[in-house]
Amino acid sequence: MIHIFKNCRRHVFLMVVVLLFVLTAGCGSDSSGPSPQANLPIVIISDVHFTPFYDTGIFNDLVNSPVEQWAAIFQSSSMTDLSSWGHETNYPLLKRVLDAAGQAAGHVLIFSGDILAHKFPETFFALFGKEDPEALHAFIYKTVVFFATQVRERFGDIPVIFTLGNNDAYAGDYQLVPGGAFLADTADTFYNTFLLGGADRKNYFNTYPAGGYFVAEPPGAKVRFVCLSTIFFSRNRPDDGTGTANNIAMAQLAWLEQVLGEADAAKKKVWIVMHIPPGADIFGTVHTYMDPNGQISDAVDFWKEAYQDRFLEICKRYADVIGPIFAGHTHMDEYRLVLDRDGEAYKALIVTPGVSPQYGNNPAFKVIILRGENWEPLDYRSVNYDLDLASSDFSTYYVFSEAYSTEMPLEASLVDLFPTMVMDSPHQRAYARFYYSGHDAADIIDDVNWPAYWCGIGKMDKKEYIECVNAY
C-alpha cells in the first residue's frame, strides 16, 4: 500500500509539473522578464584550484604585471592543452569551464570554494627564488582578483554566492586567519565583484572580515543564502594554542543560530553554502582504516566532533527553515543526508564535483533546476568534460531524475534514493560511476568498499558510520 501511494504521489507531482510548464509556456509575452512560474536553472561550481604556475615561462611576467594584463599573458602561452588528471586547473581549463557555466547561468551562480591551487605558497616561493611573504600575498591577491573578474565577465549581472575553501588564504592550506589580512583584502573584491552588493553591507562587513561568513539575499531571490566558513570546523585546522580557532568556530555557530531564528521569524527559506561538509571523510577512511574484507577499524571525520554536534543540533531545530545545503571539497559527485528523524536520514546536502581533475575525476559542475515561484529544487544535471575524448567539450553527463527514475522534487528523491541503493544494483553502479564524473581509473568504487560510500550518505555520527560499514 505504501509503495502504491508513493507511485501515485510521484505521478501526481509529474502531472503538476507538466501542467505548470504548459500554463507558463502559454502565457503572453508582454512581461519584461521570465515568468515566476517557469523552471529556473542555478549553476554551481566548486574546487577550481586555479594554478597560474602551469607555464613557468610566463611566471615572471605575471609577477611583474598588473592583474588587468594577466589574461593576455596567459593567452600568449604556448601551453594550450587543458589540465588532465593529476593536475590543477590551468588557464585553458578555467576559460572553458567558465564559458560553459556562463551559458547555463540562471538567477545566481553558487561557488562553494577553493579558488587557489594546492601548495600555492610552496610553489610560488620555489619559482620566485626566495621566501618573500609580501610578494606571495600580492601574487595571491592578484590571482583571486583575476578569478573573480573572469567569472564576472561570463556571468554579466548575475550575483555570485560564494564561500571560501581551505586553500583560500595567504598562509596556506587550512590556515585562514580570523580577522586577518586575506579576509580584509578580499572583502571589498568579493562584495563588489561577486555579490554585486546583494548583501546588507553593514552585516557583511561585520562578519566576513572576522571569519569569512555572511548572509546574502540578492534582488529577486526567493531564499536567503547563509554562507559558512567551515574551514574553522575542520579536523585539519591547526591549533595555534591561543583558542582563536575555537572562538571563531563557536562564534560562527552562535551567529548561524541567530540568523536561522531571524529567517524563521521572517518566514524566509534559507539555503546554506559551505565548503567542507560534515560527516565522514570517506576517501580518508577507506585508504587508512579499511582492511581487505571491507571492515574499518576507525573513521576519519571532516569536522571536529563538538562543532558537528552543535551544527546538527541547530539545523534540527530549524529544519523547516533550511532548504538544500551545498558543499564542495571532496571533488566528487556525491550527497549526504545530515539530519535524522525517527531513525531515517533526511535533509539533503549536495556536494558539487570539482573543476580541478587533480584527484582523477573529470572536470564537472552542476545545474540545479528550480520551481521558479518558490525556488524549490526539482532536479539537476551534471555537466562534465570527458578528458578521455580529444574532441570533447563540457556537456550534460547525466540528469538526476532520468538516471535514478524519480519524479519527485529533488530533496525527497535524494532521501528516497539512499535506502533503495542497498538492494538496487543498477542505482549502486550509477552512483559509483557518477562519483568521479565519468573517470574512476585511480580509485574504483567496488563491492568491497561500497559500504563506506553508501553509509557516508546517511550516517553523520562517527560511531554509527563505523557500525553501518561493518554491518552492511
Rounded-to-integer distance, Cα 106 and Cα 42, Å: 5
Which range, of 200-209, 251-260, 413-422, 437-446, averages the lowest pLDDT? 437-446
Residue 83: closest CA among 54, 44, 56: 54
Q: How confident is the model at residue 242 (pLDDT cuts 50, 70, 90)?
A: low
The verdict on pTM exceeding 0.85 is yes
pLDDT at 241: 63
Segment 220-227 shows an average pLDDT of 94
Grid cell listed for 47:
574546487
Mean pLDDT of the chain: 90
pLDDT at 19: 37
**pLDDT at residue 1 greater than cutoff 60:** no
**pLDDT at residue 311 greater than cutoff 70:** yes
112-137, pLDDT tens digit by residue?
999 999 999 999 999 999 999 999 99
DSSP annotation of 148 reads: H
Domains of the chain: 35-471 (3.60.21.10)
441-465, pLDDT tens digit by residue?
767 899 999 999 999 999 999 999 9
Q: How confident is the model at residue 301 (pLDDT cuts 50, 70, 90)?
A: very high
Separation in Å, CA 375 to CA 172, 199, 268, 292: 37, 19, 12, 45
**pLDDT at residue 10 greater than cutoff 60:** no
Which range, of 7-21, 79-93, 125-139, averages the lowest pLDDT? 7-21
CA 131 from chain center: how many Å? 32
pLDDT at 402: 96
90-103, pLDDT tens digit by residue?
999 999 999 999 99
Who contacts 95 (Cβ-Cβ below 8 Å, separation ≥6)? 150
Rounded-to-integer distance, Cα 384 and Cα 434, Å: 10
pLDDT at 440: 79
**pLDDT at residue 75 greater than cutoff 70:** yes
Separation in Å, CA 116 to CA 10, 30, 122, 195, 371: 43, 45, 12, 19, 34
Query: Strand, helix or coil at 419?
Result: helix
Quote the percentage of the chain above a pLDDT of 70.
90
139-182, pLDDT tens digit by residue?
999 999 999 999 999 999 999 999 999 999 999 999 999 999 99
Q: How confident is the model at residue 37 (pLDDT cuts 50, 70, 90)?
A: low
pLDDT at 240: 65
pLDDT at 43: 97
Segment 335-346 shows an average pLDDT of 92
Segment 242-270 shows an average pLDDT of 91
Segment 369-396 shows an average pLDDT of 91
